[in-house]
């Protein structure tokens, strides 16, 4: 019997380009559902004889998806990626962000590099994974709501950790130019709601402006941000070094001549491993409590409420980690250990006990931008990686 021919990277790249066009066509902005995209992935998997498992959110409007290939034994490889993308609102695109557009050696479209290009490569290799050649399993782990705090992955990771034969390692396909990245910062996000009492802006003694109170709190965060930058460890491997804090969203007031009834702002704190976000924020949180009590002495309905929105752990470097070594073997990467300033689901997989590496096509420099793109050469490098993965597990 003639042995099967090795998978051609060129063939896989061509497959992936067609699949990427379909994936980009689904508007999976995090505020919306990802179910249409998941339906498509599920249909493609069913056609290969694979029955994926959904791990939905509480109201069923979004879902993770797990698909397993090969023998149901321990020691497999998880290929992890998120299906959601950031908004295109207000961005100046030269082409339709929901139509894959080739131009100048690049593939333009929202999510091309972050990170539907990796998902397309996984799906392009799926027929090979499903061919019966594998001696170790491959598990797809496609999540929702990564872009708004890595909110979807924890439930999926719990299923992988407790209900599947234990995988040996996880490859998270965030854009790294197909180089192994073995560390990232953690992120904690918070929503602060300040409630005031409306009155005419000329009669400040009759009301309490939520905006004015919120500005004081945001000023404290600006000072904390500056302090973190000044005190950053010069030996820290991240850029920027140490922890960083930014206020990303502010919404308050109804008119210029009305004392604002409500102001809501959101901020994030990004920390290297070993730094406790709550400890860093303790002075700020105590000030929020003090201001809350003070405001309630004027009007019972007034006050300050701080709500933790998300917390993603840092991804710590694993010396000699199985995932890092495996990814480097497939890519031929013999460069230094690398870290990333952004947060990803890698920290969540590592926290669950999995050896993890980040390695995917494209550059984070193109992510979240108007005219986001994936270099065709990067898709081809990713295709070669997938072809080697098939061979390594066969």
Asked, for residue 349, whether it belongs to a domain, the answer is yes
Rounded mean pLDDT for each run of 10 residues along the chain, 394 residues in total: 64 97 98 98 97 97 98 98 97 98 98 98 97 96 95 97 97 97 95 98 97 98 97 91 96 98 98 94 98 97 96 89 96 92 94 97 95 98 97 95
Domain holding 33: CATH number?
3.40.630.10
Whether residues 207 and 307 fall in one domain = yes
Whether residues 21 and 117 fall in one domain = yes
Let me know if 146 is a catalytic residue: yes
Between strands 262-271 and 244-252, the pairing is antiparallel
Distance CA 323, CA 356 (A): 5
Let me know if 163 is a catalytic residue: no
Whether residues 158 and 208 fall in one domain = no
Whether residues 119 and 198 fall in one domain = no
Asked, for residue 386, whether it belongs to a domain, the answer is yes
Asked, for residue 34, whether it belongs to a domain, the answer is yes
Q: What is the DSSP letter of 108?
A: E
Question: pLDDT tens digit string along 252-277?
Answer: 999 999 999 999 999 999 999 989 99
Domain holding 203: CATH number?
3.30.70.360
Whether residues 302 and 269 fall in one domain = yes
Instruction: Please say which residue of 295, 312, 329 terminates a domain.
Output: 312
Q: At what angle do helices 376-392 and 117-129 cross, to 10 degrees?
A: 30
HSE-up (13 A, CA, CB side) for residue 236 = 23
Q: Which pairs from 385-389 meet CB under 8 Å and 24+ separation?
A: 385/121, 385/178, 385/330, 385/331, 385/359, 386/7, 386/9, 386/12, 386/121, 386/122, 386/124, 386/125, 387/6, 387/7, 387/8, 387/9, 387/12, 387/125, 388/330, 389/77, 389/125, 389/138, 389/330
Distance CA 163, CA 93 (A): 43
Whether residues 308 and 322 fall in one domain = no
Distance CA 156, CA 146 (A): 12
Which token pair is 90? Answer: 């207000």
Give the residues across from 85 on adjacent strands.
29
Instruction: Please say which residue of 312, 346, 379 terminates a domain.
Output: 312
Whether residues 42 and 70 fall in one domain = yes
Name 246's Cβ contacts closer than 8 Å, sequence gap at least 6. 225, 267, 268
For 148-165, the DSSP string reads TTS-SHHHHHHHHHHHS-
Asked, for residue 2, whether it belongs to a domain, the answer is no
Per annotation, catalytic residue among 27, 42, 145, 146: 146
Whether residues 112 and 195 fall in one domain = no
0.75 cut: is pTM over it? yes
Which token pair is 23? Answer: 């994936």
Whole-number percent of the chain with pLDDT over 70: 98
Supply the pLDDT for residue 320: 82
- The residue among 248, 209, 246, 253 whose CA lies nearest residue 224 is 246
Taking residue 332's Cβ as centre, other Cβ atoms within 10 Å add up to 10
Task: Give how many domains the chain has, as a whole number.
Answer: 2
Per annotation, catalytic residue among 27, 42, 84, 268: 84
Supply the pLDDT for residue 3: 47
Q: Find the domain containing 248 and state its range.
A: 187-312
Which token pair is 58? Answer: 């509480």
Q: Edge-to-edge, what's the strand order for the sheet holding 303-312?
A: 244-252, 262-271, 186-195, 303-312
Asked, for residue 3, whether it belongs to a domain, the answer is no
Supply the pLDDT for residue 6: 65
Asked, for residue 4, whether it belongs to a domain, the answer is no
Left (φ > 0), alpha (ψ -120 to 50) or beta: where does 91 sit? Answer: beta
Whether residues 320 and 380 fall in one domain = yes
Supply the pLDDT for residue 318: 84
Supply the pLDDT for residue 71: 97
Asked, for residue 375, whether it belongs to a domain, the answer is yes
Whether residues 20 and 168 fall in one domain = yes
Whether residues 114 and 141 fall in one domain = yes
Between strands 169-172 and 355-358, the pairing is parallel
Measured in whole angstroms, the distance separating CA 339 from the mean position of its chain's CA atoms is: 15
Contact 349, 157 (CB under 8 A): yes
Distance CA 106, CA 102 (A): 6
Supply the pLDDT for residue 31: 96
Distance CA 326, CA 353 (A): 17
For 31-64, the DSSP string reads TS--HHHHHHHHHHHHHTT---EEEE-TTSSSEE
- The residue among 339, 323, 343, 340 whose CA lies nearest residue 331 is 323
Instruction: Please say which residue of 251, 279, 312 terminates a domain.
Output: 312
Contact 355, 318 (CB under 8 A): yes
Which token pair is 166? Answer: 């234990």
- The residue among 78, 81, 74, 82 whose CA lies nearest residue 138 is 78
Whether residues 289 and 230 fall in one domain = yes
Contact 126, 388 (CB under 8 A): no
Asked, for residue 1, whether it belongs to a domain, the answer is no
């Amino acid at each position: 019997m003639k042995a099967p021919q090795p998978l051609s990277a060129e063939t896989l790249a061509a497959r992936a380009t067609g699949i990427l066009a379909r994936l980009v066509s689904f508007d999976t902005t995090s505020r919306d559902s990802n179910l249409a995209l998941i339906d498509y992935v599920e249909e493609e998997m069913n056609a290969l004889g694979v029955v994926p498992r959904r791990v939905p959110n509480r109201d069923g409007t979004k879902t993770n998806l797990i698909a397993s290939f090969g023998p149901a034994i321990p020691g497999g490889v998880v290929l992890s990626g998120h299906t959601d993308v950031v908004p295109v609102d207000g961005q100046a695109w030269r082409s339709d962000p929901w139509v894959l557009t080739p131009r100048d050696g690049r593939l333009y479209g929202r999510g091309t590099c972050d990170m539907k290009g990796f998902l397309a490569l996984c799906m392009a290799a799926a027929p090979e994974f499903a061919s019966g050649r594998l001696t170790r399993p491959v598990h797809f782990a496609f999540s929702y709501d990564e872009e708004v705090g890595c909110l979807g992955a924890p439930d999926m990771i719990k299923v992988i950790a407790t209900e599947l034969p234990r995988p040996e390692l996880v490859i998270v396909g965030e854009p790294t130019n197909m180089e192994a990245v073995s560390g990232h910062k953690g992120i904690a996000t918070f929503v602060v709601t300040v409630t005031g009492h409306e009155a005419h802006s000329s009669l400040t003694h009759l009301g309490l402006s939520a905006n004015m109170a919120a500005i004081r709190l945001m000023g404290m965060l600006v000072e904390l941000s500056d302090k973190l930058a000044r005190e950053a460890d010069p030996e820290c491997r991240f850029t920027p070094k140490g922890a960083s804090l930014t206020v990303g969203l502010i919404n308050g007031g109804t008119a210029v001549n009305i004392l604002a009834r409500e102001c809501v702002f959101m901020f994030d704190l990004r920390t290297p491993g070993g730094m406790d976000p709550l400890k860093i924020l303790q002075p700020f949180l105590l000030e929020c409590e003090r201001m809350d009590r003070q405001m309630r002495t004027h009007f019972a309905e007034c006050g300050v409420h701080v709500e933790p929105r998300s917390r993603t752990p840092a991804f710590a470097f694993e010396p000699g980690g199985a995932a890092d070594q495996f990814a480097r073997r497939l890519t031929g990467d013999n460069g230094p250990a690398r870290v990333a300033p952004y947060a990803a689901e890698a920290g969540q997989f590592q926290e669950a006990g999995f050896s993890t590496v980040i390695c995917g096509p494209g550059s984070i420099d193109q992510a979240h931008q108007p005219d986001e793109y994936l270099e065709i050469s990067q898709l081809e490098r990713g295709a070669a990686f997938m072809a080697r993965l098939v061979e390594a597990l066969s």
